[in-house]
Amino acid sequence: MLTVLDLIGIAAFAASGALAAVRARLDLFGVIVLALTTALGGGTIRDVLLGVHPPTALVDWPYLAVAAGTGLVVFWFHPTVSKLRRAVVLLDAIGLGVFVTAGTSTALALGAPPYAACLVGMTTGIGGGALRDVLLREIPLVLRREIYALAALGGAVIVAVGDRLGFPEGPVTLIGAVLIAGVRILALWRKWNAPIARKLDG
């Protein structure tokens, strides 16, 4: 079940990256690169931080296949995919929840302290999107609007606290993932954003 959710999350992230590439008028190669980067970037950063070599995305071929295949589908059928924005956003929220909680659990299992595991888990969820925005020469979305990174960090903290208290990993991971996805969807619906500094004079 977790593997299926993981692949769903990869497909959703890949679709968001590919759509951004299409809007930026990149060619087919650029669309595939953005799809792969968005879908697999966070997990690759996680593995590098935790000393997992080679990164999981380069060992398990389904991850690469799903991300690249999604990029191709978006390239050829982007008008239709754009109309399914709500579905893509929902899958993106689910993917964020799965990636963050799985990243946090992996870090804890490899001996990382709780605070480091939370940061690694958050990075797993938001890293791919940040890399996508950097490649498109934009300020990463997680740094300028929407409750995204905060939701990810909150879910990671739940996983870390549950592990610290000795609670069963499965239920705690599920609760963390549901919280992340729920907060993310609610923030989009209610148009919640993190506060920013007051407008500077001059």
The arithmetic mean of pLDDT across residues 140-148, rounded, is: 78
Asked which of 21-30, 105-114, 192-201 is least confident by mean pLDDT, the reply is 192-201
Structure tokens at 185: 């969807």
Q: DSSP per residue over 87-149, as a string?
A: HHHHHHHHHHHHHHHHHHHHHHHTT--HHHHHHHHHHHHHHHHHHHHHHTTS--GGGTSSSSH
User: Interhelix angle for 61-83 vs 2-23, to 10°?
Assistant: 50
> Letter for the amino acid at 13?
F
* Residue count of the chain: 202
Each residue's pLDDT tens digit, 77-99:
988 887 877 777 887 888 899 89
Each residue's pLDDT tens digit, 114-131:
999 999 999 999 999 999
- Closest alpha carbon to 156 in 104, 116, 98: 104
Asked which of 1-10, 47-56, 147-156, 158-167 is least confident by mean pLDDT, the reply is 1-10
Each residue's pLDDT tens digit, 164-192:
999 998 899 999 999 999 999 998 888 88
- Position 202 scores a pLDDT of 55
Rounded Cα gap, residues 3 and 8, in angstroms: 9
- Position 197 scores a pLDDT of 77
List all residues 6 or more positions away from 67 whose beta carbon is below 8 Å from its beta carbon. Answer: 10, 11, 13, 14, 35, 36, 39, 40
| Whole-prediction pTM | 0.87
HSE toward the beta carbon, residue 114, CA cutoff 13 A: 12
